Structure 1
């Protein structure tokens, strides 16, 4: 029985995500990848063409969905007089935390953290060109709600909020889920604390 191309492609992406999370982009070899995915190098080249392209597709698979949910949530509240800073933060934070707690989502968050930690300029440029518009639209709404902040100060604060979210999503923090707390409850607690913390930081004098 032949394996469908879609299944093969997904298997390669899943194996790549796990290897990149564990070893980093340079540390994970194509030989390791083909062994983990149960495919040959020709299959990787057929579906992706290069390792750089494979890395990009690992990000697209998760970030297209994540940012789609973020933009849908933002569209419901942007520009509304009753919208609060906490509402906008919830639209930005909650979809990310939901992804990080779904299946292998936490693995991807470690991959995302590595993208920033390893200072890969090519990958950063890819993320900026393809997903930077999402952050810009959220920043427009933050600016509307925080008119006294300069553009530079606002960008500093939003960048720090994004870093705190990435840390919370990666599962590297000191606060781990207790055995008597469900995944959903832990996610909601994390969101509540992070939104409160981020709002205080954005609102600081």
Structure 2
């Protein structure tokens, strides 16, 4: 019976940390707040995570592992079922992320945590995400690049970066397009996914910039 209790304690700490990080940010949340919210003592946090930085990392791992696995699985299916087609690859990148964001019980707070990560520029977290999930972006970059061979690697990754930023914005549901009252959240998210995929496909298929087009003026 001790092992399930241990996992329950760890999950409570992660859930409390995620909620507090979403509300107050990483710098603005103390371990004492986390322990109070999770109803555990500081020794439990030290035992399971060792440090606040590790706790931040594990909050991301809990969501990112599942989302990354879903993305890579859908990517492989797209490569097999639709070889050479760009749209299914983009769907494999977009849809699992929006599905997680739609799950308010497990994903809502995490979307706000992602926004905090963009705002606070946590170097330790940035390295953790690069080390553990950079391969996912590289796999998508390789697959998408094969569909748009006219783009240089630099242009490809600029566009992939813009897609990731747009996706984060869509996950936060903070845009101009609000869900109509007569449309379910699932239908609204599906519409958002299709619009983003359509937009991204046009972006990736746009002509490469001329070598001397470096000025914005």
TM-score bin (small chain) = over 0.9
SS in 2 for 1:4: helix
Contact conserved, 2:112 with 2:172, CA < 8 A, in 1?
yes
CA distance in 2, matches of 1:137, 1:93: 14
1:105 maps to what in 2? 107
Deviates more, 1:70-79 or 1:182-191: 70-79
1:23 maps to what in 2? 24
User: Tell me, which stretches of 5 or more residues in structure 2 are unaligned?
Assistant: 208-217
CA distance in 1, matches of 2:204, 2:75: 18
Deviation at 1:187, TM superposition (A): 1.2
Contact conserved, 2:82 with 2:88, CA < 8 A, in 1?
no
Residues 7 and 45 of structure 1, relative CA distance in 2, 3 Å threshold: same
**TM-score in terms of structure 1 length:** 0.94
**TM-score in terms of structure 2 length:** 0.89
CA distance in 2, matches of 1:136, 1:89: 14
Match status 1:152 vs 2:154: yes
Deviation at 1:80, TM superposition (A): 6.4
Deviation at 1:194, TM superposition (A): 0.7
SS in 2 for 1:173: coil
User: Tell me, which stretches of 5 or more residues in structure 1 are unaligned?
Assistant: none
Q: After superposition, give the CA deviation of every residue in 1:20-78 in whole Å (9 maximum; x if it has no partner).
A: 11111001111211111111111111111111111111011000000000000111122
- How well do the aligned residues superpose, as a CA RMSD in angstroms? 1.7
Contact conserved, 1:116 with 1:124, CA < 8 A, in 2?
no
1:96 maps to what in 2? 97
